[in-house]
Amino acid sequence: MATALRAAWSRRAGAPSISNHGTLYPVLMKLEQESAIASEWGVSENNRRARFYRITKVGRKQLLAEKRQWEETTRIMGQFFALGEEI
Amino acid sequence: MRKYENRTARFPSAARRLSSQRQDARLEDEIDAHIELLTLDNLRAGMDPAEARRQAALRFGKPSSTREACRDQRGLPHLEAFLKDLRHASRALRKTPGFSVAVVLTLAVAAGANTALFSLVDQALFHPRGIDHPERIVSIREHYGKLLNLSDLGATSGPAFADVRNERGLFEHAAALTSDYFTYTGGSKPEHLEGARVSSEWFAVLGARPMLGRTFAAEEDQPNAERVAVLSYGTWTKLFGRDRSVIGRRIELDLQPYRVIGVMGPGIEAIGPSDLWVPLALAPADIAPQERFHQHLFTLARLRPHVTEQQVDNWLRLRAAQVLASNVPGAKETAALDWYMFSKPYTDTMVGDTRTPMLLLLAAVGMILLIATANVAGLMLARNAARLHELAVQVALGAGRGRLLSRLAAESLLLSLLGALAGLALAAGGMRAVLLWAPKDAVPGLDARFDVFTLAFTAAAIAAASIFFGILPAWLASATPPVDAMRAGTRTVSGRQRLRSCLVVGEAALAMVLIVAAGALLKSFLRLEAVSPGFDTRGVMTAAVSFPAAQYSSAEKQAAFYRAVLGSLPAPSAFASSVPFQGGINAGGFEIEGRPEDEGSPRHTDVRFVSPGYFEALHIPLRHGRFFASSDHAGAQGVAIIDENVARQYWPGGDPVGKLIRPNGASVWFNVIGVAGHVLQADLALDSGRGTIYYDLYQFPQPLPVSVMVTHARVEAIRQAVAAANPAESIFDVQSLRARVAGSLASRQFLLRMMSFFAATALFLAALGLYGVISYSVSQRTREIGVRMALGARSASVYGMVVAEGLRLAGAGCVLGLAGAAGLARMLESQLFHVQAFDVATVAAAVAILLAVAVAASFWPARRAAAIEPMAALRCE
C-alpha cells in the first residue's frame, strides 16, 4: 500500500511528504467508517501482500463537495487579497 | 468481506463492537505489511538490512501511537478504555490504602454533612411536608408598636379573620385555628388529645386532602351544628388501630358525642397541635366589633396566584387604618399604640427564630465542604506529583496525553464515587442524629428525608475539584519532555508544593472561623445558663390538667377539684393559669383607682392567676406586703400581687400595697397586698421588662380550660392525687420546671453542638491537610536535612525547623481566619448573649487551639526528619 500511495502522490508536483506514516491509519480508518473509501488485501507490484484502498461512490461525492467548498474558499480569499493589493 | 462491510455501514455501532478484536488484528497486519514495504524500499535503495529496518521503523513512527489513535478513532472503545482505566484505578488505589481511605473519608464527611443539613433546611424553609405551594400561604398577624415585646402577636382577632375571609380578591382561602384539649373516653382509660378548632377552609388553605372521608363543610362550621371531627393519622393509628370503618362512627370527646368524618394523611402534623380537628364554629358575637382587639386566632390565608405579599400588606394596613378611624370600641386607645395588621410568609411563621441559626449552620457546613475539597485537592496533588516520574516514563513509552489524563481522572472519579456513597450513608445517619439533637418544637414535622439533588451537587463539586487537581500534574507531566521530567526527578515539584501550602492555609483559616464561632456560642451559652430566672427550679415538677366545660360548669366545681388535689400533695403546691417558660402570652391593661391612664403610655402587664402556695413553691421572693392566703377565697375582698417591675413602673418611689387596681373591663377592684420579685417569662436571654400582676386563682369567676400544677411531689403522687379527685382526669405536659427552662435554651444548645461538631471536623481536616503537606515536604527534603545533620545540626533544631514550617502555615491561616471571623460576626451577633462575636478571649483561645494542633500535626513528620541517618540520606537519590 505504501508504495501505491507514494506513487499516487509523487505523480503530482509539490505533494507533501509524510514524515510519519503511522499517522495515516487513523485518517484512513475515519474515511472507511464514513464509507468514503473501501479496502481489501491484495498483492503489490513487487509481489508483497498489501492492503489496497479505493474511493467509493460516497467518497467521490464527498470529495466533490469538499472540492467545491475549497474552491469557493480560495475564490473568496483570492478576492480578499486582491482587495488588499488595490488598497 | 464486502458483505460484512456493507453491514458495518448500516449498523455501525453493533458491528463495530463485534469486530473490535478483528479490527485490532487487521491493523497489526497492516502495520507489519507497511513496515515490511518500507524496509523493502530501503533495501532497494541500497541500505544494509539492519539499517533498512531501522529507517523504516523511524519512518512509520510509534506503532503504539497509531494503535492508540486508531482505537480512539473507532469511537466506542472510549468507554471500554475508560472501564479499563477504572479497573486500573481501583488497583492503584488499593495499593495505597492510606491515601484512599483518607480521601474517601474526607469526601464522605463533607458530602454527608452537607447533604444532611441542606436536606433538612430545604424541608424546613422551602418545602415543608404535606403543604401545597407553601410560598403562597401567609399568616396574618397584629402588631402593637408601643407595647413591650408585642411587635408580633402571632394571633388575630375574630373580626380581623372575618376581614381576611371576606377579601376574596386577594385570598383564595382563609382559615383560623385555636388550639384546644380533648379527653377521649372511648378506650380503657381517658386519653388526653391536643387538638385544634379550625374553620372550614383550614385544610384548603394548606392544600392538604384527607386520606379517608372528607374535611369540614361550611355548614358544619356553625354554632350548634352537629359535632364532627377529623382525626390525624397518628390518632387514627393510636386509638383506632387504622380501622377504616371509623368514618361515620360516633366517638366521645369531653363526654360529648362527635362523628368522625375524615382522617388526614401523615405530614401536616407540623402545623400546630394536631391530634384531631373539630370545627371552630365562630358565633356572630365572636366577630362583632367589640372583639376587634381580642387576638386569639391563628389565621392563615392562601394567596390567589400572582398576588404579592406587598399587595396583601398594603391591604392589611389600609384595613387597620379604616378600623382605627371607625368607632369600634377601643379604637381611640389602640390608635395610640401603633397598632396595625401585617402578613408573614408561611415558612417564616413555622421556622421563626430558627432561620438565622439554620443559615449559620449552612455557612458552617459549606466551609466544611470547602475544607474537604481543598484537602482532597491537596492529597491528589501530592499523590500525582510524587508519581511524576512514573508518568514521565509512561509518556516516554508512548502514552498519549489524553490516555494519561483519562487514567488519572478515572482515579479521581472512583474516589469521588466511593466518597459520595459513604457520604450517603453518613447523611442518613447524620440526619437522624441532627433530628435527635434538634429541639423538638424548633422545627416541627421534619423527617430524615433525603435531598438527592444536594448529594449530587456536593459529590459533583468535590469530583470536579479532585479531578482538576488530580489531572493537573499529569497535564504538566505530559507538557514537559519526558526526558527532562525524568532527569529533574523530584525537583520540579516545588511549585505544586506552594499550591498545596496555599490550600492548607485556606483550610486553617476556615477552621479558625468555625472555632471562633463555636467558642463565642459556647461562652454565650455558659453565660445564659448562669442567668437566674428569678425563681428556683430545684425539685419543682409541673403538670397540666384540662377541664372540659361540660364537667366544670362553674368556678366552684373547679375550685373543689383544686382543693382536693392540693390537699393530698405536700405543701407548698399550687395551681396556676400558666407557669413561666410554658410559652404563650397572657397580657392585658389595667386601671388604677383614681389615676386615669395617660394617653400614649398605656398600662400593660402580663397576667397570671395562681393559687396560694405558688410563690412559695417557686421560691419567688416577697419584696413587700404578703402572699395569697387561704382567707382570700371567692367571697372575700379581691386581692392582687404585683411584681417589682410593675411597682417601679407605676408607683415609682411610692408604696403600691393597699392601692386598688382592676383589669380592663372588670367591674370589681382588687387590693394590692404584696410585691413579689420579677421573674423571666419565656427567655433567659431576653427580659421583656414587662411586669406581671398575679390574681388569686380562687377569686377568678369563670372556670379555666387548663391549669398547671407546681409542686415538689413526685409524678406518681401527682397522678394519684388527680385520679383521686376526679377519675376522669389525667395529667399531661408533665415536665420538671428545670426542663422547661432548659427547653428554652434548646435551640441555642443545638446550634452550639452543631457548630462545635463542625469546628472539630474542620480542625481535624485542616490538621490532616497540614500533616500531609509537612510530611511530604520532609520526605522531599530528606537529602537537605541529611546534609544539615552531617554538618552538625542537632535533632532539636531539625524538630524546630519542621514544626516552624507547620506553625508558619497555621499562623497564616489564623490571620486569614480572623478576617473571615470578623465577616461572620455580624450574622453570629444575634445568636449571642452578652458576648461579642469577636470576643478577644475567644479569639485568643481559637488561635491557641489552632497552633497547638499545628504543632501536633507537624510533630510526627518532625520526628521522622530528626531520625534521618545523614549517610543514608546522602546516599539516596
Average pLDDT over residues B434-447: 65
Q: What is the pLDDT of residue B478?
A: 61
**Euclidean distance between CA atoms B699 and B531, whole angstroms:** 34
Q: What is the pLDDT of residue B12?
A: 44
- Do B445 and B376 have their domain in common? yes
pLDDT band at B793 (very low <50, low <70, confident <90, very high): confident
Please name which of B632, B703, B702 lies closest in space to residue B671, comparing C-alpha atoms: B632
Find, in chain A, the residue whose alpha carbon is nearest to that of B38. Answer: A2
- Do B271 and B220 have their domain in common? yes
At position B641, the amino acid (one-letter code) is I
pLDDT band at B144 (very low <50, low <70, confident <90, very high): confident
B72 pLDDT above the threshold of 80: no
- Do B217 and B328 have their domain in common? yes
Could you tell me if residue B713 is inside a domain?
yes
Find, in chain A, the residue whose alpha carbon is nearest to that of B68. Answer: A26
Shortest distance between the Cα of B37 and any Cα of chain A, in A, equals 7
**Euclidean distance between CA atoms B685 and B831, whole angstroms:** 10
Average pLDDT over residues B309-333: 89
Partnered with residue B193 across adjacent β-strands are: B182
Strand B156-157 relative to strand B574-576: parallel, antiparallel, unpaired?
Answer: unpaired
- Do B385 and B481 have their domain in common? yes
Could you tell me if residue B8 is inside a domain?
no
Could you tell me if residue B258 is inside a domain?
yes
Q: How far is CA B775 from the centre of its chain?
A: 37
- CB-nearest partner of A22 from B12, B61, B74: B61
- Do B300 and B154 have their domain in common? yes
B290 pLDDT above the threshold of 80: yes
Q: What is the pLDDT of residue B208?
A: 87
Query: Which residues of chain B from 41 to 80 reach within 8 Å of chain A, CB to CB?
Result: 41, 59-63, 65-66, 69-70, 72-74
ipTM passes above 0.95:
no
B8 pLDDT above the threshold of 80: no
**Residue given cell 403610655 in the structure block:** B601
DSSP string, B668-703: S-EEEEEEE-----S-SS------EEEEEGGG-SS-
Could you tell me if residue B2 is inside a domain?
no
- Do B68 and B96 have their domain in common? no
- Do B108 and B22 have their domain in common? no
B10 pLDDT above the threshold of 60: no
Residue pairs between chains A and B whose CB atoms are closer than 8 Å: 64
B444 pLDDT above the threshold of 60: no
Find, in chain A, the residue whose alpha carbon is nearest to that of B41. Answer: A3
Q: Say if residues B292 and B157 touch (Cβ distance below 8 Å).
A: yes
- Do B69 and B85 have their domain in common? no
Could you tell me if residue B99 is inside a domain?
yes
Q: Which three cell numbers stand for residue B615?
A: 410563690
Could you tell me if residue B345 is inside a domain?
no
- Do B626 and B682 have their domain in common? yes
Encode pLDDT of B76-104 as tens digits.
Answer: 556 777 788 888 888 888 888 878 888 88
Q: What SS3 class is residue B423?
A: helix
Which range of residues forms the domain containing residue B104? 80-124+358-489
Q: What is the pLDDT of residue B151?
A: 67
- CB neighbour burial string for B498-507, b if at least 16 within 10 angstroms, e if fewer: ebbbebbbbb
Could you tell me if residue B664 is inside a domain?
yes
| Domain boundary pick from B304, B337, B370 | B337
Chain A residues bordering chain B (beta-carbon distance below 8 Å): 1-3, 19-23, 25-26, 29-30, 33, 35, 38, 40, 44, 46, 48-51
Strands (E), B487-580: 541-546, 574-576
Could you tell me if residue B732 is inside a domain?
no
Q: What SS3 class is residue B578?
A: coil
Encode pLDDT of A25-82 as tens digits.
Answer: 888 888 888 888 888 888 877 777 888 888 899 889 989 999 999 999 899 888 888 8
B410 pLDDT above the threshold of 50: yes
**Euclidean distance between CA atoms B71 and B65, whole angstroms:** 10
Q: What is the pLDDT of residue B159?
A: 93
pLDDT band at B848 (very low <50, low <70, confident <90, very high): very high
State the total domains in chain B.
5
Encode pLDDT of B14-45 as tens digits.
Answer: 444 445 677 778 888 888 888 888 888 888 88
| Domain boundary pick from B695, B727, B759 | B727
Shortest distance between the Cα of B408 and any Cα of chain A, in A, equals 25
B826 pLDDT above the threshold of 80: no
B1 pLDDT above the threshold of 50: no
Find, in chain A, the residue whose alpha carbon is nearest to that of B33. Answer: A50
- Do B601 and B676 have their domain in common? yes
- Do B173 and B295 have their domain in common? yes
- Do B575 and B690 have their domain in common? yes
The more confidently predicted of residues B109 and B673 is B673
| Domain boundary pick from B727, B760, B789 | B727
Q: What is the pLDDT of residue B349?
A: 75
The more confidently predicted of residues B354 and B162 is B162
B583 pLDDT above the threshold of 60: yes
Shortest distance between the Cα of B29 and any Cα of chain A, in A, equals 9
Q: Which of B319-323, B698-702, B835-839 has the highest mean pLDDT?
A: B319-323
Q: Which three cell numbers stand for residue B867?
A: 531520625
Encode pLDDT of B364-391 as tens digits.
Answer: 888 888 888 888 888 877 777 667 777 7
At position B18, the amino acid (one-letter code) is L
Encode pLDDT of B597-646 as tens digits.
Answer: 776 677 888 899 999 999 999 999 999 899 999 888 888 899 999 999 99
Average pLDDT over residues B104-126: 81
